[in-house]
Amino acid sequence: MNDYRITTYEPRHRGAVVEFQQMLWQGGAAGNSAYLDWKFGANPYLDDRYVTLAWQESELVGMLGVFGSCWEVDGHGRVMLPCLADTVVAPAHRGGPLFGRMLEWLVERLRADEVPWLLDFGDQPAGPAMLMSGWTAVGPWPVAVAEREVLGSGEGEWSAREAVRGSRSGATITPVATSLPEMPALAAETRSRGSVRVVRDEEYFRWRSRNPLARYFHLVAEEQGTVGYLIAHRTAVDTDDGPTPTTIVECEALDDDVWRDLVEAAVATLPGKVVTMWVRDLAPAREQSLASLGLSPTRPSGRLSQDIHLPKLVMRSTGVVDDAGPLATLTSPDVWDMRGVSGRGWR
Amino acid sequence: MSGSHDVQDVARTVLDCLRNKLFLDGVTADTHLIESGLIDSVGFIRMFVVLEEEFGIEVTARDLSLERFQNVGSISRFVIEKLAEGGGSDKPAEAVRA
């Protein structure tokens, strides 16, 4: 039962992966194939070299997806850090040593290539075991949730909606079909509260928006130019009245009133029953306004069993971190600015 | 749970919880919970909830280590440490909503 063979991904494994991942991706053969290409092939920062597969004889029984994320680190410039994602173990092999073995195999490869860290923003069932096996947690942090009547938005309908005027800022808030160049430009203007932040340039926006298994909804706020934007994510494999939430993955604005108006417009118009957003790295005035917008924050209780589904970052050093360099401090919660990062934004 | 933090009393209660609340068949005081494969990650979460309810303690992410949750003995020592720290809680077992 434990005679597993662990390998890297190769193109000849494509069919097996597309079929195996149906239990997670649920996109069908064409959708899963396109997602595989987008997540690991078209990723601007890392190819599929670290995708890890486990086999029992000729049967694929486990997979660790590893995709590239790019971060700006003060004093260091840009750095690619691999992220764990799309991890699946076949039901008959769960609860055993397979997941841990795949992780150790992967970490060993990263160490050999002098990649210092492996990140995981996911909601791993194996979370406690990971934390007992050398992984470190940053977080969890609060998430805000709004539940409404189900709102729908069919193909093409979002961008056909009328613009509204922000109730506080007076800015014109317009639904648009895709991200605009003004959005990464605005993201670059916002002041960071941490020394490590995800790169949000045009290349990143372009790659993210091409996720074949996701729908993105964009709002832009304008007042003599672009003064804010909001981007929300919803999986493309669920209907608008399905259980998956719509997640505000980022919202940037030049002032608090515009920010508030964008979030208010989003809560009022995004499809789905539930809208969520991470409550971290928000300016105090913005965090305080959430309740009036219908978003109720759920804050960490400190109890692992209760906080297990709150967003967090877990990370594993591969053992090649330069102790004197800026990447040595990544386990400190204070260095991270998670704006623009959302687990769902990368699914 | 009484004020006595006798390790044997705690161990008996821990073993009882593992058998009768987590339904871990065959578990003994010497069973290595992880190596035996009796408990997986989801099972650990359930175990934390049971320990919290039974002893009035809180299990946090910082408490996690392989050594602490290896067997009945190590779990018992962890519980006693928590009780000695005043790691009990009057808060209800639910995440705090603002």
Number of domains chain A contains: 2
Q: Is the pLDDT at A115 greater than 90, yes or no?
A: yes
Asked if the structure places residue B74 within a domain, the reply is yes
Q: Is the pLDDT at A326 greater than 90, yes or no?
A: no
Per-residue pLDDT, A156: 63
Q: Which residues pair with A233 in a beta bridge?
A: A216, A247
Q: Which of B21, B32, B42, B49 to mutate to test the interface with A (most CBs of A within 10 A)?
A: B42
- Same domain assignment for residues A20 and A132: yes
Per-residue pLDDT, A125: 74
Q: Show which residues on chain B lie within 8 Å of chain A, measured between beta carbons.
A: 34, 37, 40-45, 48-49, 52, 58-61, 63-66, 69, 89, 91, 93-98
Q: Which residues pair with B86 in a beta bridge?
A: none
What confidence tens digit (pLDDT) does each residue in A226-265 have? Answer: 999 999 999 999 998 888 999 999 999 999 999 999 999 9
- Same domain assignment for residues A133 and A147: no
What confidence tens digit (pLDDT) does each residue in A54-101 have? Answer: 999 999 999 999 999 999 998 789 999 999 999 999 999 987 889 989
CATH assignment of the domain containing B21: 1.10.1200.10
Q: Give A314 or A154, the one with higher predicted confidence.
A: A314
Q: How far is B6 from chain A (nearest CA, A)?
A: 25
The verdict on A2 touching B (C-beta cutoff 8 Å) is no
- Same domain assignment for residues A153 and A189: yes
For residue B8, the tally of other CB atoms under 10 A from its CB is 8
Q: How far is B91 from chain A (nearest CA, A)?
A: 9
- Neighbour-count burial for B39-56, b at 16+ CB within 10 Å, e otherwise: bbbbbbbbbbbbbbebbe
Cβ separation of A297 and B95 shorter than 8 Å? Answer: no
What confidence tens digit (pLDDT) does each residue in B21-49 have? Answer: 999 888 999 899 888 878 877 788 899 99
- Same domain assignment for residues A190 and A179: yes
Cβ separation of A137 and B94 shorter than 8 Å? Answer: no
- Same domain assignment for residues A39 and A134: yes
Q: Which amino acid is at B44?
A: F
CA distance A230 to A263: 8
CATH assignment of the domain containing A13: 3.40.630.30
ipTM entry: 0.77
Asked if the structure places residue B13 within a domain, the reply is yes
Per-residue pLDDT, B87: 54
Number of domains chain B contains: 1
- Domain of B72, in residue numbers: 7-85
Asked if the structure places residue B92 within a domain, the reply is no
Per-residue pLDDT, B4: 53
Among A101-105, A119-123, A144-148, A160-164, which is the least confidently predicted range? Answer: A119-123
What confidence tens digit (pLDDT) does each residue in A175-223 have? Answer: 999 999 999 999 998 878 788 999 999 999 999 999 999 999 999 999 9
Task: Indicate the average pLDDT of chain B.
Answer: 82
Cβ separation of A303 and B65 shorter than 8 Å? Answer: no
| Residues in chain A within 8 Å Cβ distance of B66 | 132-133
- Same domain assignment for residues A67 and A11: yes
The backbone torsions φ and ψ at residue A276, rounded to the nearest 5 degrees and listed phi first, read -125, 160
Cβ separation of A299 and B95 shorter than 8 Å? Answer: yes
**Percentage, residues of chain A above pLDDT 70:** 98
Per-residue pLDDT, A2: 66
- Same domain assignment for residues A133 and A216: no
Q: Which residues pair with B96 in a beta bridge?
A: A299
Q: How far is A181 from chain B (nearest CA, A)?
A: 36
| Residues in chain B within 8 Å Cβ distance of A142 | 98
